Homo-oligomer: A and B are copies of this chain.
Amino acid sequence: MQTMKATVFVEPGRIELREKPIPEVGPLDALVRVTTTTICGTDVHILKGEYPVASGLTIGHEPVGVIERLGSAVQGYEEGRRVIAGAITPSGWSNACLCGYCSQDGAGTNHGWKPLGGWRFGNTIDGCQAEYVLVPDAMTNLAPVPDALSDEQVLMCPDIMSTGFSGAERAKIRIGDVVAVFAQGPIGLCATAGAKLSGASVVIGVDRLAGRLVIANRLGADHVIDASQVDPVDEILRLTGGRGVDVAIEALGTQQTFEAALRVLRPGGTLSSLGVYSTDLKIPLDAFAAGLGDHQIVTTLCPGGKERMRRLMSVIESGRVDLAAMVTHRYKLDDIAAAYDLFGHQRDGVLKVAITP
């Protein structure tokens, strides 16, 4: 039995690189040799024990790699092809998928829906911070990478870009909209880029770190607000002449940003929520116009599947956005502990780290 190195959750506070067997390939699976991957904020939650996963699970959900072996029932791919798979790996055949909600994939349940069911890598099955990863429902999930694109250029597609862009898409941004994006971490930055790409005429980026606001400007923000210096609600209402924004995107997952997003919405506006919250949320009566403001609140879990990946890579290939600049640090898989240490403590202006096995 061959083995490989894999980053394993052991217990809260402890993630280790271990030897594990290279997985068996089932009929619908593909084994992918990982060439580049990265660490997500969610992985840090897992490390801290804030999001529980099974002890011994390999974590990581953003794979770029090469097809090593294909399951017996997989058609339309060849070994050796460079591919990515989304952080969310839907089955394609659950009722949720067939209804357009792939991230809530309930394949195998009796009614076909399961909250977050499409998120499997590093959550319910072994993930990709390893030398190899087994991709389930391979025909639904393997997306060939265009030759012209490097690993790092597509490294944001599986999660950060798909999530951030979906914040703009689900809000149905229209040409000429004014959009505020609360928090400019990796997902917020992608939401900023996605809002601009969707035709917003004014994009306002909010964060408390000056360094991130610089990048926000580069990725499409017309105005940036340093929330450590001024009140962003006041500032946004001032910028919009008291009208408020058409769309507010929440990309952090706190009561404070959620509430601020609601307070800057014009009547009839849309709050598009991407953050992972850790407490109950409060909707203030006044900001909600007592329920009579024609407001909409939409939430989105990262869309996955190969068609989604294909689209996102086409955006990269067209040069519409350049997200490779978000890779600020690089580590070998052997040094992933150091990468977690840097990323977990958000040191040295880190945005995303590239991990290469």
Contact = CB atoms under 8 A, between A and B. Distances in A.
A253 interface: yes
A140 interface: yes
Contacts of A95: 306-307, 310
A98 B280 contact: no
A237 to B, nearest CB: 11
Given A98-B140, A101-B268, A114-B267, A108 B285 contact: no
Contact of A175 (B102, B104, B194): B194
Interface residues of A, number: 95
Given A97-B92, A140-B98, A176 B113 contact: no
Contact of A278 (B75, B92, B267, B290): B290
A222 interface: yes
Question: How many copies make up the complex?
Answer: 4
B175 A197 contact: yes
B253 A291 contact: yes
Given A175-B194, A289-B115, A299 B294 contact: yes
A297 B297 contact: yes
Given A27-B73, A104-B294, A297-B296, A198 B201 contact: no
Given A100-B100, A298-B296, A201 B267 contact: no
A194 B174 CA distance: 11
A260 to B, nearest CB: 15
A169 interface: yes
A295 B76 CA distance: 26
B276 A242 contact: no
Interface in A78-113: 91-93, 95-104, 107-108, 110-113
Interface string A257-270: 00000000011100
Contacts of A103: 292, 294
Nearest to A117: B267
Interface stretch (A2-10, A225-233, A313-321, A344-352): A313-321
B318 A202 contact: yes
B317 A96 contact: no
A267 B100 CA distance: 11
Given A75-B108, A285-B278, A113 B266 contact: yes
Give the residue among A93, A117, A244, A317 with the most B Cβ atoms within 10 A: A93
Contact of A268 (B96, B139, B294): B96
A311 interface: yes
Nearest to A273: B291
A280 B283 contact: yes
Given A113-B266, A318-B202, A76 B291 contact: no
A281 B259 CA distance: 12
Interface of A: 26-28, 72-73, 75-76, 91-93, 95-104, 107-108, 110-117, 137, 139-140, 165, 168-169, 174-176, 178, 194, 197-199, 201-202, 222, 240-244, 253, 266-268, 273-285, 288-301, 305-308, 310-312, 314-315, 317-318, 320
11 contacts: A28-B73, A93-B93, A93-B140, A101-B268, A113-B268, A168-B175, A176-B314, A199-B315, A201-B314, A277-B285, A281-B283
